């Protein structure tokens, strides 16, 4: 071995999940070779893709600021240095912190000449010595770069900043929760410095190594303080209290997720996507919407909007990479999909301005809707939407850190019901069929099978479903996700979690969830 090489063997558990590789922090801190191997593997793949004549790569190296980010940036710099035949330049944001959407816009800007991004994040998973660390890979001496420039440009191109500035100057307020992650400084910069929303509109916008001890996942459970200040309880019900903000929003650890609420109203991510699609003309300075996509577990609310508007609509497996392929297809069946809107029930929304979901983008989309019709509240916007299209009640139950065997057995049990003639007749809940979701990418024609079990029901005559899948972002055991959805064309005044409780009980019984996992209660309902 030379000064620049180390003997090593493969790690068999370096399989990336839904979005990057996530492990307990100790896995990374106790064995430096774990990171070295991973980065070397990325570099090997990158160099195998380039031709012998192509110039060495420039790579963006950033983090969401979580514990172990700083030593990792130093360590990865060394690995890249030892690969100087492959890598010529590393771009590192000031202080090392940059949100995932900003990284995406940075490497897409031709002037930066960057061909990849290594982002140190486990996203919405908690950080700290006892929590999680991870790496997302987007597929360019150390240059210290301004993390804001390209991202601000991309958003400026998309939205009408003048309209938004005007809205802020009239005293309208957005409560923005950065959850002590990478989205915080970006929220302050764009909403505060550029658009002029006031200082008292920001909470938890300073990035911290342990996210201030909070779980940086913007949902009703972990976004408790924001939700309370917006006059909501943990189930998304109006409390009658709360402060006077027109819009409430939170981002996750790496700034790519968003929670949207108004005073006394929580907007489910699936509804948010549908409303944005419906009011696209209010939002985008980028021309008519060309295509929409949602992940399969997300509700069908956006599908009916797409149908009404005559816009192509795709349903993909969970994870942003599937959207990216659609956006990158210059032409699919004679159509090109730009601008393109996509979203996931897991608080992810975004468009073709970048190739990642984008927490701030969603906040600006909602702010634009309100700025266009200042007499409307978020509640009005949502109610008008349901009046027009009907409502998809929606809720998700997460069972975190279950035993892997039990969780896998439960999925097998459900798979065994595919194609069966179901005898669940009578009663309020009639199970019609069980399917396993499989996706054929229309661009690459690649088939991705086993992406979740779909249980279709009729609930008092209305279509409803429960979906079960196993998470691909956990760092220990298996996380079971159960997604519940019920369409109602007439009654819009209910609370999602309450409306879906009965369906949930029925689905849990059919899946024998308690028997297989031993879990009586979910960790999170959102």
Tell me which residues touch ligand VG1 (CB under 6 A): 18-19, 123-124, 252, 256-257, 295, 318-320, 344, 346, 348, 471-473, 481
Least distance to Co ion from the beta carbon of 227, Å?
19
Which CA distances in Å does 254 have to 34, 46, 106, 206, 211?
22, 24, 15, 13, 11
Contact string 216-255 vs Co ion (x = CB under 5 A): ------------------------------------x-x-
The residue (of 319 and 339) whose beta carbon lies closer to ligand VG1 is: 319
- Taking CB under 5 A as the criterion, the residue among 18, 104, 123, 318 binding Co ion is 123
3-state DSSP assignment of residue 339: coil
- Residue 39: both structure tokens together: 């980065």
Least distance to Co ion from the beta carbon of 71, Å?
22
3-state DSSP assignment of residue 341: strand
Cβ pair 306, 288 in contact under 8 A: no
Please state the separation of Cα 444 from the chain's center in Å: 23
The residue (of 177 and 303) whose beta carbon lies closer to Co ion is: 177
The residue (of 147 and 452) whose beta carbon lies closer to ligand VG1 is: 452
Q: Which does 184 bind (CB under 5 to 8 A by kind): ligand VG1, Co ion, none?
A: none
The residue (of 246 and 475) whose beta carbon lies closer to ligand VG1 is: 475
Sign of CA dihedral 182, 186, 187, 192: positive
Closest residue to ligand VG1, Cβ-based?
A: 123
CA distance 63 to 253: 10
Residues touching Co ion: how many (CB under 5 A)?
5
- Residue 428: both structure tokens together: 């309020």
Contact string 248-277 vs Co ion (x = CB under 5 A): ----x-x-xx--------------------
- Residue 86: both structure tokens together: 């492959």
Least distance to Co ion from the beta carbon of 254, Å?
4
The residue (of 320 and 429) whose beta carbon lies closer to ligand VG1 is: 320
> Exposed (0-12), middle (13-18) or buried (19+): which is 199, by Cβ within 10 Å?
exposed
Least distance to ligand VG1 from the beta carbon of 479, Å?
6
Cβ pair 370, 248 in contact under 8 A: no
Query: Does 123 participate in catalysis according to the annotation?
Result: yes
The DSSP line for 399-412 is EEEE-HHHHHHHHH
Query: Phi and psi (nearest 5°) for 504?
Result: -60, -45
The residue (of 18 and 517) whose beta carbon lies closer to ligand VG1 is: 18
Kindly state the DSSP code that residue 297 receives in the 8-state scheme: T
Q: Which does 320 bind (CB under 5 to 8 A by kind): Co ion, ligand VG1, none?
A: ligand VG1
Q: Which does 519 bind (CB under 5 to 8 A by kind): ligand VG1, Co ion, none?
A: none
Least distance to ligand VG1 from the beta carbon of 242, Å?
27
CA distance 138 to 103: 9
Least distance to Co ion from the beta carbon of 77, Å?
24
Which CA distances in Å does 479 have to 102, 177, 482, 522?
29, 26, 10, 10
At residue 96's C-alpha, the angle toward residues 93 and 99, to 5°, is 75
CA distance 191 to 26: 36
Piece of 119-127, 207-215, 363-371, 416-424 that binds Co ion (CB under 5 A): 119-127
The residue (of 298 and 368) whose beta carbon lies closer to ligand VG1 is: 298
3-state DSSP assignment of residue 432: strand
The DSSP line for 204-246 is S-S--TTGGGS----STTTTHHHHHHTTB-TTS-B-S-----S
CA distance 146 to 373: 35
The DSSP line for 383-430 is HHHHHHH-EEEEEEEEEEEE-HHHHHHHHHHHHTTTTPPP---SSSEE
At residue 272's C-alpha, the angle toward residues 266 and 278, to 5°, is 135
Q: Pick the catalytic residue: 19, 69, 115, 123?
A: 123
Please state, as a whole number, how many other Cβ atoms lie within 10 Å of the Cβ of residue 110: 6
Least distance to ligand VG1 from the beta carbon of 359, Å?
9
CA distance 235 to 523: 14
Cβ pair 150, 93 in contact under 8 A: no
Q: Which does 472 bind (CB under 5 to 8 A by kind): ligand VG1, Co ion, none?
A: ligand VG1
CA distance 437 to 374: 42
Q: Which does 19 bind (CB under 5 to 8 A by kind): ligand VG1, Co ion, none?
A: ligand VG1
The residue (of 254 and 398) whose beta carbon lies closer to Co ion is: 254
The residue (of 256 and 485) whose beta carbon lies closer to ligand VG1 is: 256
Least distance to ligand VG1 from the beta carbon of 430, Å?
28
Least distance to Co ion from the beta carbon of 245, Å?
24
Residues near Co ion, by CB under 5 A: 123, 252, 254, 256-257
Active site residues: 123
């Amino acid at each position: 071995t030379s000064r620049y090489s180390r003997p090593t063997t493969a790690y068999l558990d370096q399989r990336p999940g839904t979005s990057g590789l996530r492990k307990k922090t100790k896995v990374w801190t106790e064995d430096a070779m774990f990171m070295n191997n991973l980065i070397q593997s990325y570099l090997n793949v990158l160099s195998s893709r380039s031709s012998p004549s192509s110039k060495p790569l420039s790579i963006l190296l950033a983090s969401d600021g979580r514990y172990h980010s700083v030593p990792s940036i130093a360590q990865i710099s060394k690995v890249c240095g030892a690969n100087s035949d492959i890598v010529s330049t590393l771009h590192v944001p000031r202080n090392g912190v940059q949100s995932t959407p900003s990284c995406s816009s940075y490497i897409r800007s031709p002037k930066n000449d960057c061909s990849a991004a290594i982002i140190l994040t486990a996203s919405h998973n908690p950080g700290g010595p006892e929590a999680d660390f991870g790496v997302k890979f987007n597929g360019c001496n150390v240059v210290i770069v301004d993390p804001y420039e390209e991202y601000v440009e991309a958003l400026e191109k998309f939205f009408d900043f003048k309209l938004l500035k005007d809205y802020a100057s009239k005293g309208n307020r957005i409560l923005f929760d950065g959850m002590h992650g990478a989205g915080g400084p970006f929220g302050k910069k764009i909403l505060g410095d550029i658009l002029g929303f006031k200082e008292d509109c920001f909470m938890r916008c300073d990035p911290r190594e342990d996210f201030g001890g909070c779980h940086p996942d913007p949902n009703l459970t972990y976004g408790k303080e924001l939700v309370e200040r917006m006059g909501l309880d943990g189930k998304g019900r109006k409390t009658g209290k709360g402060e006077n903000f027109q819009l409430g929003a939170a981002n996750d650890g790496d700034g790519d997720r968003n929670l949207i609420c108004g005073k006394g109203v929580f907007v489910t991510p699936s509804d948010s996507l549908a409303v944005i699609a419906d009011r696209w003309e209010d939002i985008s300075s980028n021309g008519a919407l060309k295509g929409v996509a949602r992940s399969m577990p997300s509700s069908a609310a956006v599908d009916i909007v797409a149908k009404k508007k005559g816009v192509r609509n795709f349903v993909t497996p969970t994870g942003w990479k599937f959207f990216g392929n659609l956006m990158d297809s210059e032409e699919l069946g004679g159509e090109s999909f730009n601008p393109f809107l996509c979203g996931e029930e897991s608080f992810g929304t975004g468009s073709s301005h970048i190739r990642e979901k984008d927490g701030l983008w969603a906040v600006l989309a909602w702010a634009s809707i309100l700025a266009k019709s200042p007499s409307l509240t978020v509640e009005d916007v949502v109610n008008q939407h349901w009046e027009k299209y009907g409502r998809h009640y929606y809720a998700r139950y997460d069972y975190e850190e279950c035993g892997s065997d039990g969780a896998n057995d439960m999925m097998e049990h459900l798979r065994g019901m595919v194609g069966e003639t179901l005898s669940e007749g009578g009663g309020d809940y009639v199970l019609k069929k069980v399917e396993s979701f499989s996706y054929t990418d229309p661009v690459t024609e690649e088939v991705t099978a086993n992406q979740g079990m779909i249980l279709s029901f009729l609930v008092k005559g209305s279509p409803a479903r429960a979906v079960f899948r196993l998470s691909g972002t956990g760092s220990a055991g298996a996380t079971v996700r159960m997604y519940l959805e019920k369409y109602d064309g007439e009654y819009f005044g209910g609370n999602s979690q309450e409306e879906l409780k009965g369906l949930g009980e029925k689905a849990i019984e059919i899946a024998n969830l308690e028997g297989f996992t031993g879990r009586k209660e979910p960790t999170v309902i959102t």
